[in-house]
Structure 1
């Protein structure tokens, strides 16, 4: 059973890293959106990738919670990020940049916090085991 928890924890860290990279990519392509003709295509593709990474983290969190016996906190975080990502899609399509941009910054900050927590938490758990 400890081996399964280790695998799920690794899966969650990888998913958190992908989600953070996806949100960062969105910030970069938002700048390109304003300055190049291909920025809109990249930003649209990045939105799909970031949403997929958020769903991947949600899957990892559920696998860690239900069969793995882990805490429910990551599931609640994943659900919140999916809600925020859905709101981002709606706001982006509606071109409401005054809310879309600050919400993207918030999502990036939350994602970096999650990644830091998962990496540091994993190292602390490995050290005490």
Structure 2
């Protein structure tokens, strides 16, 4: 009786782990886009939308935290790449800084940081749907 073949490469990441990162990254992106829409409407004069912007900031913060947990799970125990964990951790820091800047009404820094957060959210979400196919049990 022969032994099973030795693994030749990285093991496939379980589908539930891949999907947890896809879902959290996508929902995070949707709330970031929502922040841009609500914030844009707020600065054009609909000041009653500030409460919605604040509430959506809370949801965005929770979702990026869940994305970080999913990225940790992708790495360990999923045996996936480490870099999504670091990117997600940076996103957590930036989103929390964004909330602080917003609460302090430092719009000159709040709006440019929003663009960085949006770009990172788009990149992460795109990767989860396209780049994650290799080596994952989709």
**TM norm. shorter chain > 0.5:** yes
| CA offset digits 1:65-101 (Å, max 9, x no partner) | 1211222111101110011011101111111100100
Q: How many Å separate the matches in 2 of 1:56 and 1:12? A: 9
Q: How many Å separate the matches in 1 of 2:102 and 2:37? A: 15
Distance 1:85 1:126, change over 3 A: closer
Q: How many Å separate the matches in 1 of 2:131 and 2:47? A: 42
Residue 120 of structure 1 is aligned with which of 123, 130, 133? 130
- The residue number in structure 2 matching 1:76 is 86
- The residue number in structure 2 matching 1:53 is 63
1:63 aligns with 2:77: no
RMSD in angstroms over aligned alpha carbons?
2.0
Task: Give yes or no for contact 2:14–2:136 (8 Å, CA) kept in 1.
Answer: no
Structure showing greater radius of gyration is 2
TM-aligned CA deviation for residue 123 of structure 1: 3.9
Q: How many Å separate the matches in 2 of 1:53 and 1:28? A: 18
* Structure 1 unpaired stretches of 5+: none
Task: Give yes or no for contact 2:65–2:92 (8 Å, CA) kept in 1.
Answer: yes
Task: Give yes or no for contact 1:32–1:38 (8 Å, CA) kept in 2.
Answer: no
- The residue number in structure 1 matching 2:121 is 111
Distance 1:93 1:102, change over 3 A: same
- The residue number in structure 1 matching 2:34 is 25
Q: How many Å separate the matches in 2 of 1:67 and 1:125? A: 14
